[in-house]
Amino acid sequence: MAIGGKTFWPLISEQINHTDNTMIAHTIFFYTFSLIAIISSILVIVSKNTVHSVFFLILDFISISCLFIMIGAEFLGMIMLIVYVGAVAVLFLFVVMMLNVAQQKNQWFESRVGYSHMPLGLIVGLVILLELIIVVGGWKYKPNLILTSSISIDQKVTNTHLIGNVLYTDYIHLFQLSGMILLVAMIGAIVLTFRKRSGIKRQSYTKQISRERIESVELVEVKTNEGVKIDD
């Protein structure tokens, strides 16, 4: 059988080969990003240098964002890049570098103080593990869970469009409430920043800009081999 000057079976074999190559490439990229995410997550915990831990955390977020994009959840992938990498992780990096934590000695690992929090860390890790088991095990014990969902999914519309439709229609009040909570938190942080406390030196930009040269610079005649005496 010939279609458009070409036989039918070579066309089918060409489509099959193209599909197989796409699946192989998708699998390779998926396992590559997954391996990078796992290794970087371990290095975040193991690394003793705090700056290196933040860099590994950024690499972990980028790998997870790529995984979200590969499975078709581009909205979550972009949110991961913009919010977590562009804001949270960079904020962590600035705080760590400003506090100069990397230059300090590893007193946490050398002393016994770090081991006192071990029981609490184990309890939190156990709770997170149980939550993951419940989430993953729910699909096994209730495989028709996705079929009972009340949200209709249209394959012709992107998930970003669907999330926007649901978020700004069914959950508009909760969305507005979360925005108001964030606004109150931002105003509270600003108020706490400008709160006057005793015993703290504050920088006055007005006095620094408006001061004259005679107030900040003093010309002193220095005699040879006598040095300069500064009045307290």
Q: Place 119 in a pLDDT band, splitting at 50, 70 and 90.
A: confident
Residue 33 · residue 80 · CB < 8 Å: no
Whether residue 212 is predicted with pLDDT greater than 90 in this model: the reply is no
Helix, strand, coil % (nearest 5) of the chain? 70, 0, 25
Whether residue 143 is predicted with pLDDT greater than 70 in this model: the reply is no
Whether residue 87 is predicted with pLDDT greater than 80 in this model: the reply is yes
Q: Comparing C-alpha atoms, which of 91, 92, 38 is closest to residue 63?
A: 38
- 1 or 85: which leads in pLDDT: 85
CATH 3.40.50.1000 fits domain 1-104: no
* Strands 6-7, 2-3: pairing kind: antiparallel
pTM for the predicted model, two decimal places: 0.57
**Cα Rg, the chain, nearest whole Å:** 30
Per-residue pLDDT of 53-63, as tens digits, reads 888 988 999 99
What is the rounded distance in angstroms from the CA atom of residue 23 to the CA atom of residue 201? 63
- 226 or 183: which leads in pLDDT: 183
Residue 102 DSSP symbol: G
Whole-number pLDDT of residue 1: 46
Four-CA torsion 37, 68, 152, 164, nearest 10 degrees: 120
Dihedral pair phi/psi, residue 2, rounded to 5°: -120, 135
Whether residue 176 is predicted with pLDDT greater than 60 in this model: the reply is yes
Residue type, 105: K
Q: Give mean pLDDT, residues 84-110.
A: 70
Whether residue 98 is predicted with pLDDT greater than 80 in this model: the reply is no
